[in-house]
């Protein structure tokens, strides 16, 4: 890091204010008592050398400190981020009083009030470098920047303060918090994360190996040709079964709505679920692609391997929703034009009754080549309004409850229509979308629908 540039601003100190108030009081007294006028003039003349000398001594300490910041370039949302400030003494004697301010990003918060931090002058005097550490909590995803670090220096007689600002720029990114996934929590503790292990019924789609027959195996899985070549010691045939696994090398496409349909809380939950399922799908050997529509049109081509997950994280970490129009129909049309093989398409939005008509003519094209899962959220406020029961008292509340009930019923009718046409529909809450979506994916993998 190159040496930071500094900016200087003079500020009056506490002693200056107290002295000014006392001198003003003496001047008021001299207005009424002429005998005090000479004392007032002599006091003013005597104070000026002290004030000017104190200022000049403070000026000599302006270039005695330099600062550098060490901070990781990648942070996890909600996880503490440690910041280190390396304060270097450039000249022999440091300032008499030093207070520190580090200007951190608005997207981060400090649990305890750290600044202004008073630095120990003895430590500065005895060592060339003083390390000051503190922790921040990143609260929002996206890029962040530290801009500057400030020192507030006090003069010998406390008449003046000097604010020295150093351009101390640091940049980085805050990613969604996937520490649990990195530790393999989904593999070691599936019950707590509500991710169920789906039992396979019947055969998978890819042959894996041959093995001995075990009690409970389906008769349809017996390989009679291999059985005819194997005999037990007593001469009887030894049953051999074919072992199957889920089909690999499939393709999963996520399409997420970044428009007005998904508010911030729902969008963040949907994006987290999308990235968690991407990790799961890549672990299963599938190729993963992603797209967004609404506030930001984004297309990430399908890729395989765990390197693809890093690419997804770097493209999606700063994606946010905004109150702008969004069209699931246009998003599906663009996606179909880009896909060149059968894919499991997961469309995440909040669907309305009018979406049924706009998507109706494109559904045959989807069913012909792809498998589509429509993911939507429960709208808690509408459910509470529609089923408030005894809380209804006025005619206006009755009409509002009836309208909410009609809206929810029309949406359920739309979901049933989609299911009858061969689509998959998942309606869940923001808190449960991650395990619900992963379970749906595993169910599709085991069933062989894809």
Each residue's pLDDT tens digit, 263-304: 888 898 899 889 989 998 998 889 999 999 999 999 999 999
**Looking at residue 244, what is its pLDDT?**
59
- The residue-averaged pLDDT of 402-430 equals 80
How buried is 80 (Cβ within 10 angstroms: 0-12 exposed, 13-18 middle, 19+ buried)? exposed
Q: Where are the alpha helices (H) located in 36-128, listed in sequence order? A: 37-59, 121-126
Q: Which domain holds residue 394?
A: 251-447
- Higher-pLDDT residue of 245 and 22 is 22
> Do 396 and 416 reside in the same domain of the chain?
yes
Decide if 321 is inside a domain: yes
Q: Tens digit of pLDDT for each residue in 40-50? A: 888 888 888 88
Question: Is the pLDDT reported for residue 219 higher than 80?
Answer: no
Say how many CA atoms lie within 13 Å of 10 toward its Cβ.
15
pLDDT above 70 covers a percentage of the chain that reads 81
**Separation between Cα atoms, residue 161 and residue 164, nearest integer Å:** 10
Region of 280 on the Ramachandran plot (φ > 0 left; ψ -120 to 50 alpha; else beta): alpha
Confidence bin at 420 (pLDDT 50/70/90):
confident
- The residue-averaged pLDDT of 45-69 equals 84
Q: Tens digit of pLDDT for each residue in 357-371? A: 777 778 777 877 889
Is residue 159 within 8 A of residue 51, CB to CB? The reply is yes
- The residue-averaged pLDDT of 406-417 equals 78
Is residue 320 within 8 A of residue 141, CB to CB? The reply is yes
**Looking at residue 199, what is its pLDDT?**
43
Number of Cβ atoms within 10 Å of the Cβ of 292: 26
Decide if 157 is inside a domain: yes
Question: Is the pLDDT reported for residue 105 higher than 90?
Answer: yes
> Do 45 and 61 reside in the same domain of the chain?
yes
Decide if 193 is inside a domain: no
> Do 434 and 296 reside in the same domain of the chain?
yes
Domain stop point among 227, 245, 263: 245
Domain stop point among 210, 245, 280: 245
> Do 144 and 238 reside in the same domain of the chain?
no
> Do 391 and 288 reside in the same domain of the chain?
yes
Decide if 181 is inside a domain: no
305-309, 310-314, 400-404: which has the minimum mean pLDDT?
Answer: 400-404
Decide if 51 is inside a domain: yes
Q: Tens digit of pLDDT for each residue in 133-192? A: 999 999 999 999 999 999 888 888 888 888 889 888 999 999 988 765 544 434 434 444
66-80, 88-102, 144-158: which has the minimum mean pLDDT?
Answer: 88-102
Decide if 194 is inside a domain: no
**CATH number of domain containing 317:** 3.40.50.410
**Looking at residue 450, what is its pLDDT?**
66
**CATH number of domain containing 64:** 2.60.40.10
Confidence bin at 201 (pLDDT 50/70/90):
very low
Question: Is the pLDDT reported for residue 218 higher than 60?
Answer: yes
> Do 356 and 214 reside in the same domain of the chain?
no
Decide if 190 is inside a domain: no
> Do 113 and 222 reside in the same domain of the chain?
no
Q: What is the dihedral of CA 200, 203, 209, 214, to 10 degrees?
A: 70
Question: Is the pLDDT reported for residue 77 higher than 70?
Answer: yes
> Do 84 and 148 reside in the same domain of the chain?
yes
> Do 153 and 206 reside in the same domain of the chain?
no
Structural domains counted in the chain: 3
Confidence bin at 382 (pLDDT 50/70/90):
low
> Do 211 and 163 reside in the same domain of the chain?
no
Look up the pTM and report it: 0.72
> Do 213 and 256 reside in the same domain of the chain?
no
> Do 125 and 147 reside in the same domain of the chain?
yes
Decide if 153 is inside a domain: yes
| Residues composing the chain | 450
């Amino acid at each position: 890091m190159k040496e930071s540039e500094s900016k200087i601003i003079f500020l009056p100190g506490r002693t200056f204010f107290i002295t000014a108030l006392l001198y003003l009081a003496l001047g008021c007294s001299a207005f009424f008592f002429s005998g005090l006028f000479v004392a007032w003039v002599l006091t003013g003349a005597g104070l000026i050398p002290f004030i000017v000398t104190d200022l000049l001594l403070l000026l000599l300490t302006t270039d005695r400190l330099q600062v550098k910041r060490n901070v990781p370039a990648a942070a996890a949302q909600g996880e503490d981020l440690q910041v280190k400030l390396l304060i270097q003494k450039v000249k022999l004697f440091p300032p008499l009083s030093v207070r520190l301010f580090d200007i951190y990003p608005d997207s981060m918060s400090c649990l305890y009030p750290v600044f202004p931090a008073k630095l120990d002058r003895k430590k500065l005097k005895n060592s060339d470098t003083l390390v000051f550490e503190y922790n921040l909590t990143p609260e929002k995803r996206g890029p962040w920047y530290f801009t500057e670090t400030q020192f507030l220096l006090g003069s010998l007689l406390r008449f003046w303060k000097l604010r020295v600002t150093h351009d101390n720029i640091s940049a980085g990114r805050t990613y969604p918090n996937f520490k649990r996934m990195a530790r393999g929590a989904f593999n070691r503790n599936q019950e707590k994360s509500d991710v169920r292990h789906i039992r396979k019924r019947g055969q998978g789609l890819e042959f894996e190996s041959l093995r001995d027959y075990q009690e409970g195996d389906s008769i349809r899985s017996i390989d009679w040709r291999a059985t005819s070549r194997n005999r037990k010691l007593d001469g009887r045939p030894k049953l051999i079964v074919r072992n199957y696994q889920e089909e690999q090398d499939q393709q999963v496409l996520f399409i997420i709505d970044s428009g007005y349909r998904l508010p911030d809380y729902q969008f963040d939950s949907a994006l987290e679920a999308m990235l968690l399922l991407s990790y799961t799908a890549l672990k299963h050997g599938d190729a993963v692609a992603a797209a967004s529509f609404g506030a930001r049109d984004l297309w990430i081509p399908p890729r395989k391997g765990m390197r693809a997950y890093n690419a997804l994280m770097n493209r999606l970490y700063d994606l946010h929703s905004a109150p702008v129009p969004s069209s699931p129909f246009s998003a599906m049309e663009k996606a179909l034009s880009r896909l060149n093989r059968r894919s499991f398409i997961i469309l995440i939005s909040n669907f309305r009754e009018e979406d049924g008509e706009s998507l109706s003519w494109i559904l045959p094209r989807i069913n012909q080549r792809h498998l589509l899962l429509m993911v939507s959220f429960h709208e808690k406020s509408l459910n509470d309004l529609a089923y408030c029961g005894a809380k209804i008292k006025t005619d206006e509340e009755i009409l509002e409850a009836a309208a909410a009930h009609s809206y929810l019923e029309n949406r359920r009718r739309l979901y049933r229509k989609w299911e009858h046409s061969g689509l998959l529909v998942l309606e869940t809450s923001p808190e449960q979308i991650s395990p619900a979506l992963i379970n749906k994916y595993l169910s599709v993998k085991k069933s062989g629908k894809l």
